Chains A and B, each alone.
Chain A
Amino acid sequence: MGVEHKRITSALLRELRTSLVEHRDKELGSIYFGGGTPSLANPRDIAEIIETANSLVPLAKDAEITLESNPTSAEVRKMQEFKHAGVTRYSIGVQTLNDQTLQRMGRLHTGAEGLAAVDRARSLFPGKVTFDMIFGFEGQTLDRWRQELETALCHADGHISVYQLTVEPGTPLFRDRNAQRVVLPNGDLQAQMYESAVELCASKGFRHYEVSSYAASTESESVHNKGYWQGRQWIGIGPSAHSRFVDPRSGKRISSVRLPDIQRWAQMCESIGHGTAKLDTVSEAEAKQEAVVFGLRMLDGLTNSQFAGVSNGQILEEYLRMDQVRQYVDYGYLLYGGGRLAPTERGLQVIDSILVEIVP
């Protein structure tokens, strides 16, 4: 791993420098180490990345620096070093407490190890630990899910993410499901599991602030993720990473993605300083659509002033298909008033059906 590792880190740093150098007038609100298993990285490299970033775009005083980790013992052992390197928040991929399911998923940890990792992280990063739980596995019953989540919540810190199992095309699970080798819980059971998550998290004092995100307090909400949903600017570094930022020269909103193949990406970073595969302008129409689609994933919804950031003065009432909005308000799916559009819990649960109708 040695040489490769050094090469990748160098490429990351190069790309980081090239990308951030244009935004020196800004402040860095958060850094997120994710995609793959960043906790397999060398803490010293993590430190170097944080320092390099800071040198170009100064970190905010309480900047959130998150590292994703799997709860294997090897990774748990490095937590202290990562703290030393500058990481301020930990995201642990617990996924499920069911050992059989973990095995089937190809994970290298047990349910007990998952919880232990969360406990350990809590001691090092108090109030700054989050972990992922997934529901909707083959053979999972509603009762078992509820028990599992309740157990997990006992170990939870300030934040937890609860996802429905998503079947991605091209994966073994996708093929298995299509061939009917695997039968997943049906739509109504999934709905019940989701509703259980909302209920159980609420009972433990977690606020359901986004579709899959629950926080014990506003401070525990994920700063980085909110950046996505509230249309902030973010730079992605590394293969397949996405970016959204305003080009300081043109003033246009840009969306870009890096090359997916790690070798090609590294080569490109070495030759021209970054491995961007594709770069597009985000039109006003697109930006407005995104603002609504992502804003409505949060229970706080979207305000006119937030919308104004991309709408060139247009307010929500002028943009949205208001006849549909009013209908959904009547159904109890949306709340609209005081310059704010927000989903109710019920509305959030079927928000994808609603978005298609209210967005022009």
Chain B
Amino acid sequence: MLQTRMAAATLVTRRASLICRYGSVFVSQQRHASRATSNRQDVDISTYPPERIRNFSIIAHIDHGKSTLADRLLELTGVISKTGKNKQVLDKLKVERERGITVKAQSASMFYEYQGQQYLMNLIDTPGHVDFSYEVSRSLAACQGTILLVDAAQGIQAQTVANFYLAFGEGLEVIPMLNKVDLPTAEPERAAQQIESTFEIDSSRILHMSAKTGLGVDQVLPAIIESTPPPSGSIDRPFKALLFDTWYDKYVGVVSLMAIKDGCIKKGDRIVSSHSQTKYEVSEVGIMYPEPTPTTSLQVGQVGYITCNMKSIAEAHVGDTFYKEKQPVDPLPGFVPAKSMVFAGVFPIDADEFNRLDESIQKLTLNDSSVSVHKETSAALGQGWRLGFLGTLHMDVFRQRLEEEYDTNVLITAPTVPYQIKFRDGTTKYIRTPADFPDAHTMQETVEATMEPYVAATAIFPEQYLGQMLELCTMRRGEVQNHTFIDESRVLLKCRLPMAEIVTDFFDQLKSKSQGFASFDYEEAGYEASDLVKMEVLLNNEPVDALAAVMHRSNVVTMGRDIAKRLKEVIRRQLFDIIIQTAANGKIVARETVKQLRKNVTAKCYGGDITRKMKLLNKQKEGKKKMKKFGKVELPQEAFLSIMTAKK
């Protein structure tokens, strides 16, 4: 299997709380199945004014219990039940979670009675991974409060911190809660202390619970009702809604989750996207209960789904504002079109698999508008694509699904980041493939600077690894900004790193140097001028475009030597010497030779050997057809693939 470079163990835990929009096609089919049996009469929720609505989310580091708590709340409010026909649903939720798909149904509406009043409680789910911080922020923008859930045994981790700042940035009321207090390893006082010192939240406000056993869970909703402000907005103002999540259902098309900020919406209304100005007609509105349950309307303060005649998920932009036709409103702040941070070339291993791969990619991106797709042709690999992902996890999950679910054999080239060129006339250009990199002449005449994207990273780890972590940061061209102790034994380190250094094996290194204890998070932090070069690979003086790469000058020698060595191992001897060279800026950085073949002849060939010999010959001829040729130098497919694949 071709693997991009990610620590496998980490991948598993991360995916456990990743909202995988790829999973929702599967889910929506289930949804539809239960739809047929649910009550088709539209629910009337117009009786819930904003004062009796609470929109909240749960933010937590991976495996700190977010999903379990969500389950508990849904059970508590009767949305799902542990027994009876809903047991299926609950079980399946768990199975899907184990598979790494968090069910969309976790964005759910609940009805709850508190002090004699009926409340509509909307739990809005958030993607759990660093790659999706923009999605997280938009989901949070749909809420007014959030539960900050911390594992009482593990304490604050990198994502706890990252998500807190996102929530804080959106102006949400943060309600801290400690989970897993039932564990023998739990240290609630210590964890509470961490929360207080890191986030300046009074520790006496912190709820202690165990989502698993149910202990303390009954206090959660009351706490939310008391602490979280109700949504603001007015029924009398024109309709205005925030689109914060979306998925594709093969029966009804694109389904959008929206938070209604003003006014109301019902079937038949015509709405407009602020971003694209496209008009749509609403065919259904409703709440997630937990399945899509139609309502007569959705009103200010409420959160629910809207189905309209939107055909492609690419039309649904997370963070977009919707309004009614002829009643435009000021768009909500914070909207940013999805930005790809990591690029990889994707090619079919067999040229005749192209159409199949094309279909598979289309199907997968059907439900994931954050993957950018550009067709690309490589001299060596033929037709393929350059796909842009939000991060390496995003890319890896995509690749795995491509291979597992669509059974396509695909070559993924080493991940790259979008470098930038700044020209003297002020214009900029993105470098997505090495072919975009300007040649020496252009560089000299028109280029002012080459730039690379940076990230602001946070790592949390036990203090004995501080030295290692600092070293890792500096080794990767990073700049340490500060480090603080978040409790008596753990350090929070903030640093700035080039994104190119993150997309390969940085994470693995981080984990291995900290014996697995470090947790890590990052976000984009702009571009900086950087000394970039294009490394070329030559075989008997012919450049191999497909192996060229753009990188920081400091990495050229190591990478150059590595590629030359790897090529030497996989290139088979031919009837002439083969000279492998890697070069940057016109200078050779590494060289290897594959000496010509000295002997290749079958010793014995008599009567009985003829048939076998001829079979072998013809098989070799077939094999030759699959060889990639660079000038006269042949490279067998597999060898080539092993070089092209993300390595280390």
Interface residues of A (CB under 8 A from B): 35, 163-164, 166, 187-188, 190-191, 194, 211-212, 225, 228-229, 234, 236, 240-244, 255, 257, 286, 289-290, 293-294, 297, 328, 331, 333, 348-357, 359
> Shortest Cβ distance from A358 into chain B, in angstroms?
11
The answer to whether A236 and B607 have CB atoms under 8 Å apart is: yes
Q: Do B599 and A190 have beta carbons less than 8 Å apart?
A: yes
A305 to B608, CA, bound (A): 25
A244 pairs with B610, CB closer than 8 A:
yes
For B602, give the chain A residue with the smallest CB separation. Answer: A352
Asked whether A354 lies within 8 Å of B617 as measured between CB atoms, the reply is no
Which residues of chain B in 574-599 are interfacial with respect to chain A, using CB atoms and an 8 Å cutoff?
574-576, 597-599
Chain B contacts of A166 at CB under 8 A? 602-604
On chain B, the residues within 8 Å of A242 by CB distance are 607-608, 610-611
B604 closest partner in A (C-beta): A163
* Closest Cβ–Cβ distance, residue B451 to chain A (whole Å): 48
Give the Cβ gap from A224 to chain B, nearest Cβ, in Å.
9
B624 interfacial by beta-carbon distance below 8 Å: yes
Closest residue of chain A to B611, judged by CB?
Answer: A255
A337 and B229 CA atoms in complex are apart in Å by 96
A236 — which chain B residues lie within 8 A by C-beta?
Answer: 607-608
Residues in chain A near residue B114, CB distance under 8 A: none
Given contacts A244-B610, A289-B614, A290-B610, contact A356 B624 (CB under 8 A): yes
Residues of B within 8 A of A (CB-CB), count: 24
Taking CB atoms, residues of chain A closer than 8 Å to B608 are 35, 236, 240-242, 257
The complex places the Cα of A333 from the Cα of B601 at a distance, in Å, of 13
Q: Give the distance in Å from the alpha carbon of A354 to the alpha carbon of B597 in the complex.
A: 11
- The 6 A-B pairs of least Cβ separation, nearest first, read A191-B598, A191-B599, A163-B603, A242-B608, A352-B600, A242-B607
CA distance A294 to B598 in the complex (A): 20
Min CB gap A109→B, angstroms: 21
Q: Complex: how many Å from CA A126 to CA B632?
A: 51
Kindly list chain B residues whose C-beta atoms are within 8 Å of the C-beta of A354: 575
Q: How far is the CB of B90 from chain A (nearest CB, A)?
A: 52
- Name the A residues within 8 Å of B614 (CB-CB): 286, 289-290, 293
Verify A225–B606 contact, CB threshold 8 A: yes
> Contact at A228–B604, with CB atoms within 8 Å?
no
Contacts of A349 in B (CB 8 A): 598-601
Can you list 15 A-B contacts with CB-CB less than 8 angstroms, sorted by A residue number? A187-B599, A190-B599, A211-B602, A228-B607, A229-B605, A234-B607, A255-B610, A257-B608, A349-B599, A350-B597, A350-B598, A352-B602, A353-B574, A356-B617, A356-B620
Contact at A187–B598, with CB atoms within 8 Å?
Answer: yes
- Distance between Cα atoms of A194 and B602 in the complex (Å): 12
Closest to B596 in A: A350
With both beta carbons as reference points, the residue of chain A lying nearest to B607 in the complex is identified as A242
Given contacts A290-B610, A356-B624, contact A211 B598 (CB under 8 A): no
**Contact across chains for A293 and B617 when beta carbons are under 8 A apart:** yes
Interface presence of B429 (CB below 8 A): no
Contacts of A163 in B (CB 8 A): 603-604
Which residues from chain A contact B599 at a C-beta distance below 8 Å? 187, 190-191, 194, 349-350
Q: Hey, which chain B residues are within 8 Å of A359, CB to CB?
A: 617, 621
- Please name the residue on chain B nearest to A190 by beta carbon: B599
| Residues of A with C-beta under 8 A to B375 | none
8 Å CB contact of B605 from A244, A294, A348: A294
> Which residues of B are found within 8 Å of A257, using beta-carbon distances?
608, 611
What are the residues of chain A within 8 A of B613 when measuring CB–CB? 293
Q: How far apart are the CA atoms of A253 and B414 in the complex, in Å?
A: 54
In the bound complex, CA of A228 to CA of B611 (Å): 12
A236 to B606, CA, bound (A): 12
Complex Cα gap A289–B611 (Å) = 11
Instruction: Give Cα distance in the complex from A194 to B599, angstroms.
Output: 9
Residue pair A350, B575 in contact (C-beta under 8 Å): yes
Nearest CB to that of A255 among chain B residues? Answer: B611
Q: Is the CB of A228 within 8 A of B603?
A: no
CA distance A351 to B602 in the complex (A): 9
* Measured CA separation A306–B278 after assembly (Å): 78
A46 to B605 CA separation, bound complex (whole angstroms): 25
Closest to B618 in A: A289
- Within the complex, what minimum Cβ distance (angstroms) separates B638 from chain A? 18
B624 cross-chain contacts in A, Cβ below 8 A? 356-357
